[in-house]
A and B are shown apart, each in its own frame.
Chain A
Amino acid sequence: MQITVNGENNEVKEIEVNLSKLLELRKVESPEMVAVQLNGEFIEMNNYSSTYLKSGDDIEFLFFMGGGSK
């Protein structure tokens, strides 16, 4: 499926991908220091594994440098 991640089009080959898996695929080293928005809506960290993506979704990862964590 085609999704947009941080403004760029991405082809995801996996059939079922949730936000946890997407963070893993994108090799995000410290997921606790990233705010995730799906189609403009902030997603709570404890909902990552239950939030499945569909074609056309727009995902933003907002990274926090420094002492941040959720």
Chain B
Amino acid sequence: MNGFATKSIHGGQLKADVHGSLRMPVYDTVSFEFESAKDINQAFAGRKPAHTYSRITNPTVEDFEQRIRLISGGSAVIAVSSGMAAISNVILALAGAGTNIVTSKHLFGNTLSLFERTLKPWGLEVRYVDMSNPAEVRRAIDENTRAVFLESITNPQLEVADFKAIAEVSSGASVPLIVDGTVTTPYLFRSKEFGANIEVLSSTKYISGGATSIGGVIIDNGNFDWRTSPRLKDWAKKMGPLALLGALRREVFRNVGSCLAPHHAYLHSLGLETMSLRIDKSCSNGLDLAKFLQQHEKIASVNYPGLPDSKFHKIASAQFGKRYGGILTFDLESREACFKLIDNLHLIKRATNVNDNKTLILHPASTIFCEYPDEVLSDIGVRQTMIRLSVGIEDFNDLRNDLARGLALL
């Protein structure tokens, strides 16, 4: 079983279902019964392989985790309640007061808020650098750096870093490199092959089947020596390469209570089965729409890594196998023109999310980033004239016609 789609469809299930169900059933239960007091003691101590309580593990969630492990090539996976839970769990497991993380100036708005407004007051220093400049990353790392964090394609700036170059810097400093691969997934980007140590994803997007339910994933790529991590070295003494998994499952993830609901895990496993087909269509629609918009007289500029004139086209081609994801942005002459175009559309939905089956349109500055003043927006590359399009899997002609009609009314 070598192919990505084959693994997505046939992977997972660790034990045969008692009724021969071809799909892992939804185990909508909180707890699991044991035959004796000794049995339940052994399970709690980790000396017996058994589910005890669904906040910690659950058979349907485990099936989804095993599928992700198989398709990603990672060594350990924990499914969590959202992409934000994936990021927060990992940072809580690796860093703490008096330490720092190095990250990009260009981040998803809620990730920026997590770092700036939630974790900073607990004593975490966040150092923002230009990830297209590995030397700047190197200068920002010191003995208190616990992680380097960046997105595979930044949202909404659509910047693509040279991951091998960043990984060389982080591994040279014995600092784990965390990649948020939400918009690429392991289908487009093999983060382990490019030196990332941990991948976090919002499985709400492509994985869930096109925005069916909220979820997240943490993948330990198995290529970092956790004995060098100040926070995890004791776990590494007990569990070796499973140290991050142990620290999460038996401490942070368990204690924070960020478990994925079994029903969501079922939907996400179902979504995985068709994910590669949907991503292919989303990427081809994205490229075709970017080319269409680039030719349109009312569009000031289009940003999409798939366009040859994008400054990230070359590195994106090398890293993502010549597929560039389903997000593009374009600029109109004013914020008012952006609002008017959004209101002019009939088919494309006015909604926040990315990688839905439906194409979605959003004005990032007035929505995801509405809590930030203009000077911050300017610094992070979010313009009042910018529109974000998350391209779905509809027929291209219908999408083009909807945009053409909307633009004609400006």
Contacts and interface: CB of A to CB of B under 8 A. Distances in A.
**Do A and B come together as binding partners?**
yes
Interface of A: 6-7, 29-30, 33-35, 37, 42-44, 60-70
Given A65-B249, A66-B249, A69-B69, 16 more contacts: A7-B47, A35-B242, A42-B238, A44-B240, A60-B47, A63-B46, A64-B46, A64-B76, A66-B61, A66-B79, A67-B65, A67-B77, A68-B245, A68-B249, A70-B222, A70-B240
Interface in B31-55: 42, 45-51
B271 interface: no
A29 to B, nearest CB: 8
Nearest to B49: A63
Interface in B192-225: 222
Contacts of B239: 35, 42, 62
Interface of B: 14, 42, 45-51, 56-57, 61-62, 65-66, 68-69, 75-79, 222, 236-242, 245-246, 249
B50 A65 contact: yes
Contacts of A63: 46-50
A69 B75 contact: yes
A67 B69 contact: yes
A29 B77 CA distance: 19
A61 B239 CA distance: 10
25 contacts: A6-B47, A7-B47, A30-B14, A35-B240, A35-B246, A42-B236, A44-B241, A62-B239, A63-B46, A64-B76, A64-B242, A64-B249, A65-B49, A65-B249, A66-B61, A66-B77, A66-B79, A66-B245, A67-B65, A67-B68, A68-B75, A68-B245, A68-B249, A69-B76, A70-B241
Contacts of B245: 64, 66, 68
A44 B237 CA distance: 11
Nearest to A34: B49
Contact of B237 (A42, A60, A68): A42
Nearest to B66: A67
Contacts of A42: 236-240
